[in-house]
Amino acid sequence: MSDKIGVYVCECGPNIGEAIDIDKVIEAISPIEDVAVVRRHKLLCSGDGQNFLVDEIKNEGLTHVVLGACSPKDHEITFMNVATRAGINPYLIQVVNIREQCAWIFKDKDIATKKAIKYIRAGIERIKYHKPLQKKELDANPDVLVLGGGLAGIEAALALTQTDRKVYLVEKSADLGGSVMKFEKLLSHQGFNLGLIKEKVDKINSNENIEVLTSTNVESVIGFFGNFEVTTKPAGEEAGGKSFIVGAVVVASGYNWFDLESTPRYGYKKIEDVFTINDFGRMIEESEKLKLSTGKEPKSIALVHCGGRKELGYCSRVCCMQMMNIGNYIKDKYPGIEVHELHSDLCVSSKNDQKYYEKSKEKGINFIRMKGVEVGGKAGAISIEYTTLAGDKGKLAVDMAVVAPGMIPEAGTPQVADMLNVPLHPTGFFKEGHEKLNPVGTTMDGIYVVGCAQGPKSFMETLIQAQAATGKIFSHLIPGKKIEPEVKVSEIIEAFCTGCQTCLDVCFYGAITYDEDKGVSVVNEAICRGCGNCAGSCPSDAIRPKHFTTTQLYQEVVEALRE
Amino acid sequence: MSEGFEPRIVGFFCKWCTYAGADLAGTSRLQYPPNVLPIRVMCSSRVDPVFLLTAYLRGADAVLIGGCHPGDCHYIEGNYYTRRRVALLKNIFETLKLDTERLRLSWISASEGPRFAKVITEYTENTKKIGPNPAKNKIFI
Ligand SMILES: Cc1cc2nc3c(=O)[nH]c(=O)nc-3n(C[C@H](O)[C@H](O)[C@H](O)COP(=O)(O)OP(=O)(O)OC[C@H]3O[C@@H](n4cnc5c(N)ncnc54)[C@H](O)[C@@H]3O)c2cc1C
Ligand code: SF4
Ligand code: SF4
Ligand code: SF4
Ligand code: FES
C-alpha cells in the first residue's frame, strides 16, 4: 500500500490565519509526491477540529498526517490521541510548528508563508520515513525495598505503607534508628525526642505490610523500574538469605564521619581530652559528668567547627547546629565552664535554628570566626591556635576540645552504587537524578536516594526527601497498574555494530549492555530514555533512535537546504 | 559577497531547552531573521557530527546546535558530549581548512526567548558577512 499523506494547516483563529497565506501553502504543498489531501481548518485542537481530523483520516484512508499548527509542546499529544481514535498509529503524525517559530516571528506575510511551506515540506519528507511504534505495557511489582533503617529509611518505609504494597526494610546493623540513636541526651537537649523515632520503629515492627530485615545485607539488585530482583544475606552468615521482587528501591544508607585522625592539625587521638561530637555524646550518655583524663571537671572547652572541611571541599550543613547544641548543653549544666566556638561560616540556615545562636550568645559563649585552626599542646594545657579572617593569629588555652567532623559517604556507598548501577557524585555521595529536576531520583528509573546518603542533611531535610520519594513512588508505581516505558527508544542494528562499546560509556542510564557471545551491544528498551546520545557517539552508525533516525533527520536537513 | 544573500542555516535544537526557548521567542512575538530551519531532537547529544558535516558539505551556509546550559541537560550530561563532539569537529574543520565560523554551539534555555532571538540574529548577520558557503558548488558527496 502506498502512502497517503494528509496535510492539515491550522488557522489557529487569526494567529496563523492572518500571518500566513494558507491558500498559497496549500497550492505549494499539494503537488508533493504521496500527498493525498491538503486542507485548512479554523481550530484543529478544538473538539470540532479533532472530530474533523478523525473523519478525514477515515474517509480519505490516510496513512500519515502532517499538521501545520502550533508547537508540538502544545498539542502533539492531542493529535496523537486523534490518530489513535482514527485507527492509525500515533507516531505516524507529525506536528509542524508554523505558529511559535513562524507566524509569530516573521512580520512579513510573504516570508512567513515561504517559511511555512519549507517547514511543512520538511515534515512531509520526514514522515515518509516514520515507522509505527508500539506502546508497551509492563507488569510492575508495587513492592519497595528500603535500604537502610536510619531516620530516612524509617520515614520512607512508614510513609510507603499501603494495602497492596509490601515494604522490605533492610538494615545492616542490629537495630533500626541509624546514627542518632546513641545520642539520646544530647539530642533531647535540643528538643529532639528520640522517643518519637522509637514510636515510629514500633509502628514499623507491628505493621504487617513491612518486613524488617535487620543485621542483613543486600547482595544484589538486578532489573529495572517495576521489576527488580533482590537477594539479601544475613550479616556474617552464609545461609538464610532471601530473594524477592520489588518495583522500586529507596536508598537510605546514610553517612559516616570524617576521620579526624587523618588530619594531624586537630590533635585527635594524639592529645588526650580532644574529642569528636560522637565521643562527647557518648561521654554524657554514660554519666552526666564531664570528665577530663585526669578525672577532673574541665574549666574551659573549645568547640572547633568544620573538621575536615578543607579536605572534603564542602560544608556538612548540620555540624554548626550540633556544636551550638553542645555549647548550650555545657552552659546549661555547668554554667561555670568557659565555652569558645571556633567557626568558619556559621551555618544556621533553618528558621528554627536562629534561636540557638541567640541563646548561645546570652549564655556567654564566645564565638570566634576563624579561617584556620590547629589543636596543639598536651592534656591539661591544650592550645588552640587560629587565624582570623583578617589574617591575625590568635591563641586559646583550654583543657578540653571537641571537634566537629564533617559528614562523609557511608563506607559501603561505592559497592551499593555499583550494585544498583547508579552514579556517585564527585564527593562520593550518591548523585541525584538531576540537581534541578529530579533531586530524589537517580539516573535509574525507580531508584531513589534520600537522607544523608545523598549528601549532608539536617533532620528535617532528611524527612522531606523521604516523603518526596514516597510521593514519587505513589504516583509512578501504583498497585495493579502497568507501567509504560518510553516508546521512542534507541535500538542497535546488530549487523552494523562492531562491538566497540563506545555507546556503553555514554549512556548515563546504563541501558546498553555488551553481548559477549554475539560481540555486539544491546539496548534494554525498558531502561532507555531515548536521548540519542549513544547514536551521536556510534562510529558505525549502528544505533537508531526509533523516532529520530538518521534518515528522518536527514530529510529535514535536505529540505532546509532546498533552494 | 553576493547581493541579497540569504544564508540557509540548519539548526538542531533539543526539545527541552533550545526548542522551547524558540517557542518562547515566538510567544513573546520577538522578531528574528527567517534563515534557520529548526530541527527538533530529544537532546543535543543526538546530533552526530556527521550530520553537521553533511549539512555543511551539502551547502548549508552555517549550522547551529542548541542545547541546554551545562548542568541542565535533561539527560544529565548529554550536552557535555555535544560540546566535545563539536570541538572535535571544529578541529577537523580547521585541518580541512573549512570555515569554523559556520559551525556553532549555543546553550539556550527554555526561558531564554530573547537570547534565542539574539543568537539567531547575530549568527545570521555573521553568516551574511562571510558570504555563501564555498563548499556549496563543489561536489563532495
Ligand atoms: C549526634 C548527632 C547530632 C546531630 N545533630 C543534628 C542537628 O542538630 N540538626 C540536624 O538537622 N541534624 C542533626 N544530625 C543529623 C542527622 O543525624 C541526619 O540528618 C539524619 O540522621 C540522617 O539520617 P539517615 O537515615 O539519612 O542516615 P543514618 O542515620 O546514617 O542512617 C543510615 C542507616 O542505614 C544503614 N545502612 C548503611 N548502609 C547500609 C547497607 N548497605 N545496607 C543496609 N543498611 C545500611 C546504617 O546502618 C544506618 O542505620 C545529627 C546527627 C548526630 C549523630
Ligand atoms: S491546534 Fe494549535 S494552532 Fe491549531 S488552533 Fe489549536 S492551538 Fe492553534
Ligand atoms: S558504539 Fe556503535 S558500533 Fe560501538 S558497540 Fe555501540 S552500537 Fe556497536
Ligand atoms: S538513547 Fe540515551 S538512554 Fe537510550 S541507550 Fe542511548 S544513550 Fe542510553
Ligand atoms: S536535553 Fe537539552 S542538551 Fe540534552
One domain, residues A60 and A127: yes
Residue A498 has pLDDT above 80, yes or no: yes
Among A527, A553, A554, A562, most B C-beta atoms within 10 A, so best to mutate, is A553
Which of A133, A158, A191 corresponds to the end of one domain? A133
One domain, residues A249 and A272: no
Give the minimum alpha-carbon distance from B98 to chain A in angstroms, rounded to a whole number. Answer: 19
Centre of ligand 5 to C-alpha B14, Å, is 5
Centre of ligand 1 to C-alpha A143, Å, is 24
> Which protein residue has the closest C-alpha to ligand 1 atom 38?
A253
One domain, residues A278 and A397: yes
CB contact under 8 A, B48 and A535: yes
C-alpha cell at A111: 516570508
One domain, residues A390 and A501: no
Which of A448, A476, A504 corresponds to the end of one domain? A476
Q: Is the CB of A178 under 6 A from ligand 1?
A: yes
One domain, residues A65 and A86: yes
From the list B10, B26, B45, which residue is nearest A536 (CB)?
B45
Helix (H, G, I), strand (E, B) or coil at A486: coil
A526 is a domain residue: yes
The CB density around residue A74, as the number of other CB atoms within 10 Å, is: 17
Q: Which of A494, A507, A543, A544 to mutate to test the pocket of ligand 3 (most atoms within 8 A of CB)?
A: A543
| Mean pLDDT computed over A341-346 | 94
Residue A500: is it exposed, middle or buried by C-beta count within 10 angstroms (0-12/13-18/19+)?
middle
CB contact under 8 A, A508 and B78: yes
Going by DSSP bridges, is the β-strand pair A490-492/A543-545 parallel, antiparallel, or unpaired? antiparallel
- Among A159-163, A329-333, A381-385, A414-418, the range scoring the smallest mean pLDDT is A159-163
CA distance A341 to B8: 66
- pLDDT 10s digits, A167-211: 999 999 999 999 999 999 999 998 889 999 999 999 999 999 999
Going by DSSP bridges, is the β-strand pair A227-234/A216-224 parallel, antiparallel, or unpaired? antiparallel
Q: ipTM of this model?
A: 0.95
pLDDT of residue B1: 46
Whether the CA torsion A524, A528, A532, A533 is positive or negative: it is: negative
Residue A406 has pLDDT above 90, yes or no: yes
**CATH number reported for the structural domain that contains residue A40 in this entry:** 3.40.50
- Average pLDDT over chain A reads 95
Going by DSSP bridges, is the β-strand pair A400-405/A274-276 parallel, antiparallel, or unpaired? parallel
Q: Contact at 8 Å (CB) between A172 and A215?
A: yes
A378 is a domain residue: yes
A484 is a domain residue: no
- pLDDT 10s digits, B52-78: 988 988 889 999 999 999 988 999 899
Residue A224 pLDDT level (bands cut at 50, 70, 90) = confident
Atom in ligand 3 nearest the alpha carbon of residue A498:
3
User: Among all ligands shown, which has an atom nearest to the Cα of A452?
Assistant: 1
Looking at beta carbons, which residues of chain B come within 8 Å of A545? 42, 46
Centre of ligand 2 to C-alpha A103, Å, is 12
Give me the residue spans of the domains in chain B.
Answer: 24-130
CB contact under 8 A, A537 and B81: yes
Bridge partners for A377 per DSSP: A382
- pLDDT 10s digits, A102-140: 999 999 999 999 999 999 999 999 999 999 999 989 899
Query: Where would I find the beta strands (DSSP E) of A116-246?
Result: 144-147, 167-170, 210-213, 216-224, 227-234, 242-246
Query: What secondary structure does DSSP assign to A348-393, as a single string?
Result: --STTTHHHHHHHHHTT-EEEEEEEEEEEEETTEEEEEEEETTS-E
**Higher per-residue confidence, A1 vs A354:** A354
pLDDT of residue A436: 85
Q: Contact at 8 Å (CB) between A349 and A318?
A: no
One domain, residues A295 and A361: yes
One domain, residues A270 and A283: yes
| Mean pLDDT computed over A48-70 | 98
Q: Is the CB of A61 under 6 A from ligand 3?
A: no
User: Which residue range forms the structural domain that includes residue A297?
Assistant: 260-405
One domain, residues A264 and A215: no
CA distance B30 to B20: 14
pLDDT of residue B98: 85
Minimal CA–CA distance to A59: which of A4, A125, A22, A9?
A4
pLDDT of residue B138: 62
From the list A101, A508, A536, which residue is nearest B48 (CB)?
A536
Q: Contact at 8 Å (CB) between A532 and B51?
A: no
Q: Is the CB of A232 under 6 A from ligand 1?
A: no
Helix (H) or strand (E) holding A320: helix A319-333
| Mean pLDDT computed over A497-503 | 97
pLDDT of residue A546: 96
CA distance B57 to B52: 9
One domain, residues A366 and A399: yes
Q: Which of A15, A42, A119 to mutate to test the pocket of ligand 2 (most atoms within 8 A of CB)?
A: A15
Residue in B with minimal Cα distance to A532: B46
Helix (H, G, I), strand (E, B) or coil at A401: strand
Helix (H) or strand (E) holding B18: helix B18-27
One domain, residues A18 and A125: yes
pLDDT more than 70, % of chain A? 100
User: Among all ligands shown, which has an atom nearest to the Cα of A533?
Assistant: 4
| Mean pLDDT computed over A245-272 | 96
Q: Report the predicted TM-score, pTM, of the whole model to 2 decimal places.
A: 0.79
> Which protein residue has the closest C-alpha to ligand 1 atom 6?
A322
**CATH number reported for the structural domain that contains residue A295 in this entry:** 3.50.50.60
The CB density around residue A81, as the number of other CB atoms within 10 Å, is: 15
Side chain identity at A411, as an amino acid letter?
A
Bridge partners for B11 per DSSP: B38, B64
C-alpha cell at A336: 561555670
Atom in ligand 3 nearest the alpha carbon of residue A514:
5
Minimal CA–CA distance to A73: which of B127, B24, B10?
B24
Number of folded domains that form chain A: 4
Q: How many CB pairs under 8 A join A and B?
A: 132
Minimal CA–CA distance to A190: which of A291, A320, A317?
A320
Q: Contact at 8 Å (CB) between A230 and A246?
A: yes
Contacts of B17 (CB under 8 A, 6+ apart): B66, B67, B68, B69, B72, B73, B74, B107, B108, B109, B110
pLDDT of residue A1: 55
Contacts of A471 (CB under 8 A, 6+ apart): none
Residue A399 pLDDT level (bands cut at 50, 70, 90) = very high
Among A117, A557, A558, A559, most B C-beta atoms within 10 A, so best to mutate, is A557
Residue in B with minimal Cα distance to A433: B76
pLDDT of residue B141: 47
Helix (H) or strand (E) holding A446: none
A362 is a domain residue: yes
> Which protein residue has the closest C-alpha to ligand 3 atom 3?
A497
Centre of ligand 2 to C-alpha A69, Å, is 6
The CB density around residue B137, as the number of other CB atoms within 10 Å, is: 8
pLDDT of residue B139: 53
pLDDT of residue A423: 87
Minimal CA–CA distance to A215: which of A246, A268, A169?
A169
Give the minimum alpha-carbon distance from B97 to chain A in angstroms, rounded to a whole number. Answer: 22
CB contact under 8 A, A104 and B81: no
- pLDDT 10s digits, A450-481: 999 999 999 999 999 999 999 999 999 999 99
Which of A476, A503, A531 corresponds to the end of one domain? A476
pLDDT of residue A349: 84
Residue in A with minimal Cα distance to B76: A434
CA distance A136 to A259: 50
From the list A436, A535, A561, which residue is nearest B72 (CB)?
A436
A189 is a domain residue: yes
Predicted confidence pLDDT, tens digits, chain B (141 residues) = 456 899 999 999 999 999 999 999 999 999 999 999 999 999 999 999 999 988 988 889 999 999 999 988 999 899 999 999 999 999 998 998 888 999 999 999 999 999 999 999 999 999 999 999 987 766 554
- Look-up of cell digits 520519594: A469
| Mean pLDDT computed over A216-233 | 94
A448 is a domain residue: yes
C-alpha cell at A361: 550568645
Looking at beta carbons, which residues of chain B come within 8 Å of A508? 75-78
Side chain identity at B105, as an amino acid letter?
L
Give the minimum alpha-carbon distance from A287 to chain B in angstroms, rounded to a whole number. Answer: 50
